[in-house]
Structure 1
Amino acid sequence: MKSHCCEIDETKDCTSACKECGSAGKPVMEITLGSMVKEPVLEAIKNPDGFHFCETPSCEVVYFNNEQQVYLHKQDVKARVGIKETESPVPVCYCFGWTQERIFEEIKQHGKSTAVQEIGAKIKAGECECEIKNPSGRCCLGNVNKVVKKGKELYRVP
């Protein structure tokens, strides 16, 4: 089954603010909630429509639905949420196993990272499953690019 997660039209996103931190959240698909939320919590959700992902690193909320007044926290999610993690390993690409540490080590050793190219090639081959493996339900390439940039700054690589 070909994934369409890396083809999401960002212009069609509607946003809703997280009640805990006030930041705008991005809509998540039902399939993402179904694969990411722990079973007892998932069973308690009456309607999976209208949930959003909170991208604020310091906020404990991962998914929220203001209309239903449901707020799911890190402990309610099966995977570590990379954007909200401060301890290693920090996941960056859930489909192909890239972590912040792996990217940094590659930059430290070789002066560059192959993460973006490798992930991009696998996306083109239809091998990504971001909507079920990434807590955001979205393609990771934007975050991977940020981590590569951060690693280059850390190791002073042009």
Structure 2
Amino acid sequence: MLHILLKELNDNISKIEPLCPWCSTPGQVVIIQTVKSLCENSNTNEEADYYLCLSPNCPAGYFSIIGQVIHKNALSVPIWFKEKSPVPICYCQEVTDEQIWEHVSLNRCCNNLEDIQAHTGANTGCQCNLRSPSGK
């Protein structure tokens, strides 16, 4: 019976999302390659897990479970939900929210995702793990 309780406790602990030390918002896990590619001047720890701070109001970009915080301004690209327009929507193809807005509202040439992809190239790249702050 004890081993069942310990397994359940361990399973539940592994589901806990680490909180940003600056704002206490749960983070989204990112691979170390993403952090290293966007934070070239940062001392990243290869052995630590890193998380993207999901609060739009917090200046933290990434944080680790060992207490390291990387400021959003230390990244080579803006984190779209932490900045004002224009912001990247597709980091691989360098497509911004304003460009998509222009195609949808001003040019009226796009009615769906497929149209947006065809006109802007958004969401057609394959380097998200290295160019997008979320790694996705």
TM bucket, shorter chain: 0.7 to 0.9
Structure with the higher fraction of residues in helix conformation: 1
Q: Kindly, what percent of the aligned residue pairs are identical? A: 26
Kept in 1, the 8 Å contact 2:33–2:130? The answer is: yes
Match of 2:76 among 63, 75, 78: 78
Name the TM-score, length of structure 1 as normaliser. 0.65
Matches within 5 A, 1:8-157: 15-39=17-41, 41=42, 44-66=43-65, 68-86=66-84, 88-111=85-108, 113=110, 116-117=113-114, 118=117, 119=122, 122=124, 127-138=125-136
* Offset from partner CA, 1:101-153 (integer Å, 9 cap, x none): 01111121244636732245x3xxxx411000101111xxxxxxxxxxxxxxx
Higher relative contact order (CA 8 A, sep 6+): 1
Q: Structure 2 unaligned runs (5+)?
A: 1-13
Q: Distance in 1 between matches of 2:57 and 2:81?
A: 9
Name the TM-score, length of structure 2 as normaliser. 0.74
Q: Distance in 1 between matches of 2:113 and 2:67?
A: 37
* Count of matched residue pairs: 117
* 1:109 alignment partner AA: L
Kindly name which structure, 1 or 2, has the bigger radius of gyration based on alpha carbons. Answer: 2
Report the RMSD for the aligned CA atoms in angstroms.
2.3
